[in-house]
Amino acid sequence: MTLTLHKSVAEFRRAANAVRGAGKRLGLVPTLGALHAGHLSLVREARTRTDEVAVTIFVNPTQFGPNEDFARYPRTLERDLELCRGAGVRHVFAPDASEMYPAGETHARAS
């Protein structure tokens, strides 16, 4: 099974719609990346319940409080993709913050 990396909302939406349009169920495992055994156990569980699995990898600036170091959160996309391939993930949605928060949108950090 081939893993497809999606960087835009539109790309991922098309892929998800194609899976569902084919009458299949798509499981979703949302993450901040830096995947570990816990994430992979969620992928394994999703694979038992759905036809295809997607993982999101997005270090969301709004999830970090004022005293938390957003800039230092590990970003290990290539390693994460390899782990996803090995776990049978079909789709990875890994957008940049600019994709999720386009110009003019606000994304204040959580307080």
Place of tokens 């307080």: 111
Q: Which of 36, 39, 91, 107 is catalytic?
A: 39
- Is 39 labeled as catalytic in the residue annotation? yes
> How is residue 19 annotated by DSSP?
H
List residues with catalytic annotation: 39
